[in-house]
Amino acid sequence: MAGTTKTWADRLGPGLSGLFRSYSLIFFSHQVGFGILLFLASFIEPGAGTCGLVVLCLTRLGHRLFELEESLWTSGTLGFNAVLFGLALGDVYRFDLYLLLMLFPAAFLNLAVTMLFKQWLAKYQLPFLSIPFILSAWIFLLFARQVGSLSLSDHNVFMAGAFGFENIIAEDIRQTEPLWKIYLKSLSGLFFQKSLWTGALMAIGLLVYSRIAFSLSVIGFITAFAFYRLGGFNESDLTYHYTGFNFILTAIAIGGYFLLPSWRSYLLAIACIPLLVLLHHGLSGALQPYQLPAYSLSFSLVVIGVMVMLQQRTSFRNFQQVIEQTGIPEQNLYLSVSKAERFGKQYPIRFQLPVAGEWMVSQGYNGGITHLDRFQYALDFIILDAEMRSYQGVGSRVEDYYCYNKPVLAPADGWIEIAVPFVEDNPVGQVNREENWGNTVVIRHAEGVYSKLSHLKKDSIKVYPGQFVRKGDILATVGNSGRSPEPHLHYQIQGLPTIGSYSYPYPFAAFVKKNHKGRKLVEFSIPEEGCLVANPEKSETLFQAFNFLPGQQIKTVLEKDGQTEVSTWSVFTDAWNQLHLQCSLTGADLIVQHDGQFFRCTQFTGDKNSGLFWFFISVNRVLLSQDKALIAEDTFALNTFKPGPLLFFQDFLAPFYLFLKSPYSSNSLNTDYGLTNGQASLSSEARLDAFGKAVYRLKAQINIKQNRLESIQLWQQQKPFSLHFYWA
């Protein structure tokens, strides 16, 4: 079995990567690099930083001792509360031998509380946030009052006041400080510091990690500052009482982490700030008799409360929760937009036209002849000649009609429910109203999804009830039975298996539409009345070339910028039956689909310098037809390509407006419907457009020989390189 994709962070090993992610997850980030920066920032106050690290290492020890799931550590899930707990203790107490000894039971206390809340809240699909740290800190503070061996640190303003030592205030509160200084000190307050340097490091890391998270932190803070000023609150609370970070974390969590970033999520984050102020000061007052700080309790309660309300809503129009969490708000947004564009219009059953060759829709949905009322969502098909006639000669016999006796195909896989074969064909111009639908086949494709094909030729039906048929199997031939004055095929989708059931609209997955401008590929649409349509002609050459099979090993050679990368790609399926291509050299992984009509890349992870990445960009979506006129179009997520200045600025605007687009297209360079020697060539183009103008372009030519991929020639901004394939 192939391994999983590894980043440089994973190569640090599970111990170190989990340690650093414990720091970055405090800001909802999964990035190890950001965690390293926060780790260093915590040591600007050495005593607190040391306590945070010690508690975190002891948490790792407990994790190994109790043989807990490894991902709990490597993801940082188990460690971020431990970091906060250790930092809080290092802030309150002077770091000495006795405190060091007490950190051992304290760390195991925090681990137990963390697992308790994780297990409890996971049942309701809710995050536990910083609640374990808060409860653990309260328990320790109450315990510490019973012993006299723990000394308060001389720099802790808030706890000194909380314990009644009002005279230990190290500096005057100056409300005239610039707003940016108060913001940076509020950031540093998350690590129980009041340091501009710590805040600056955090702000820089936040900006590099996510422009959306950074902007939300500023918006959350400024909103709180404005509310404090308007409400007459003491603005010094934002820094000197470690209150400001509550607003920063809440804005990030609601505005961009748990919800997809949008103007609505930003407004919701802003609207939560007054509630947060009310809750924080109310909790602080309630806890004051017990000399306990509120810490980030208001943040946790507000965010969990919002999540509960989102779970109870009856409509999903205003806010979209993140389904696939990448840990980066921009990536969550770009992937969601890309998936909506790529798969949003798709239907679970990929119907094809129930005929072979070119046909005309003689009567469409809501047709004025018979497609009315409960039969309004139906299509009639006939064949026309070059003079737009449906018959030859005078058309007095059913045999004169081009569509008569032509094969009728299964539009999708399914089971035959009904097969009526015995109704006589009508003479031209006459109808059989007694047996309205004539010879008919009904296929069950899924519960509530049935296709009905009617007016078939007598005794031409080749299937029987209960039989399973594949898409494209011949069911019968076109006839003139039932209420049909001239030969045609009636097709509809209905919700029940009975003949005469209500029809409903359901699109074809892909078909070719022909008009005076030529042929065009149309996807997930319903052809209009009068359209000339056909199924895309399948190319056996392309079908075989992109038909990767589990167990295959493919040697590839990437020649780019004067360097050669030789690697082997392994093909395998995962537990969800997804087909993967994985590079042995870089660990890059690509999930692909092959449905017989299209080859599509659905998800790439890993090294964006690898050959597998360039393969993904080149063949992102391929129509398995060698009709040169048909262009398969798609789009990439904006974060697919390496970040640049344009993407940096787009990140700030992404929740409100996307000025960048990343379209893709591919088509065949030669017309060959699988009747020649297994050779074919395709061209593709991937672009990054800014305000409709291309700023990046990658062109590719995919060459196939003997029904297998041979090479891909690529031009990145007109600079050539190549990828070659060698099959075992």
- Whole-angstrom distance, CA of residue 241 vs CA of residue 277: 13
Average the pLDDT over 80-85 and give the result: 96
Closest CA to 411 of 505, 499, 525, 492: 492
Q: In this structure, is the dihedral angle defined by the CA atoms of residues 425, 427, 431 and 432, taken in order, positive or negative?
A: negative
Shared-domain flag, residues 105 and 218: no
Domain holding 257: CATH number?
1.10.3430.10
Domain encompassing residue 85: 1-162
Phi first, then psi, for residue 219 (nearest 5°) are: -65, -45
For residue 237, what pLDDT is reported? 59
Do residues 381 and 403 lie in contact, with contact meaning Cβ atoms separated by under 8 Å?
yes
Question: Tokens representing 270?
Answer: 């802003």
Domains of the chain: total:
4
pLDDT in tens, 220-270: 999 998 888 887 766 565 555 567 889 999 999 999 999 999 999 999 999
* 581 phi and psi angles, rounded to 5 deg: -115, 130
> Confidence band (pLDDT; 50, 70, 90) for 167?
very low
Residue 365 and residue 508 in one domain: yes
| Residues 397 and 257 occupy one common structural domain | no
User: Mean pLDDT throughout 353-379?
Assistant: 91
Note whether 2 and 141 are same-domain residues. yes
Identify whether the C-beta of residue 88 lies closer than 8 Å to the C-beta of residue 46. no
Identify the three-state secondary structure at position 133.
Answer: helix
Is the pLDDT at 426 greater than 80? The verdict is yes
CA dist 180 → 176, 185, 239, 519 (Å): 11, 9, 12, 60
Identify whether residues 697 and 552 lie together within a single domain: yes
Give dist(CA 687, CA 717) in Å, integer: 10
Q: Specify the DSSP class assigned to residue 259.
A: B
Note the pLDDT of residue 341: 86
Shared-domain flag, residues 385 and 513: yes
Of 503, 518, 534, which one is at a domain's C-terminal end? 534
Task: Check whether residue 565 and residue 707 sit in a common domain.
Answer: yes
**Residue 157 lies inside a defined structural domain of this protein:** yes
Please say which residue of 465, 500, 534 terminates a domain.
534
Distance CA 617, CA 581 (A): 14
Binned at pLDDT 50, 70 and 90, residue 170 comes out as very low
> Can you tell me the mean pLDDT for 481-486?
92
Cβ 449 vs Cβ 496: under 8 Å? no
332 assigned to some structural domain: no
CATH code of 389's domain? 2.70.70.10
Identify the pLDDT of residue 155: 62
**Three-state SS across 520-557?**
EEEEEECCCCCCEEECCCCCHHHHHHCCCCCCCEEEEE
Residues 572 and 662 in one domain: yes
In a domain, 344, yes or no: no
Residue count of the chain, please give it: 728
| Mean pLDDT value across the chain | 90
pLDDT on residue 163:
37
The residues near 220 (Cβ < 8 Å, ≥ 6 apart) are 247, 248, 249, 250, 251, 252, 255, 269, 270, 273
Same domain membership, residue 544 and residue 526: no
Q: Are 496 and 502 a contacting pair, CB within 8 Å?
A: yes
- Do residue 703 and residue 554 come from a single domain? yes
Residue 670 banded pLDDT, cuts 50, 70, 90: confident
386, part of any domain: yes
pLDDT over 90, % of the chain: 73
Structural domain includes residue 351:
no
According to DSSP, the residues that pair with 560 across neighbouring strands are 563
Q: Quick one: 208 and 301 in the same domain?
A: yes
Which residues make beta-bridge pairs with 382?
A: 360
Given 499, 515, 534, the domain boundary residue is: 534
Does 334 map to a domain? no
Task: Report the alpha-carbon distance of residue 197 to residue 19 in Å, rounded.
Answer: 22
188's enclosing H/E stretch is helix 179-188
Cα 39 from Cα 81, distance rounded (Å): 14
Q: Indicate the pTM of the whole model.
A: 0.85
Residue 623 domain flag: yes
- Cα gap 79→63, rounded to integer Å: 10
d(CA 585, CA 567): 6
CA gap 704, 727 in Å, rounded: 12
Task: Judge whether 524 lies within some domain.
Answer: yes
Express each pLDDT in 278-304 by its tens digit: 998 899 889 989 889 999 999 999 999
Statement to judge: residues 157 and 195 lie in one domain: no
Q: Which parts of 347-451 fold into alpha helices (H)? A: none
**Amino acid in the structure at residue 117:** F
Buried b (16+ CB within 10 A) or exposed e, 214-253: bbbbbbbbbbbbebbeeeebebbbbbbbbbbbbbbbbbbb
How buried is residue 527: exposed, middle or buried, by Cβ count under 10 Å (0-12/13-18/19+)?
Answer: buried
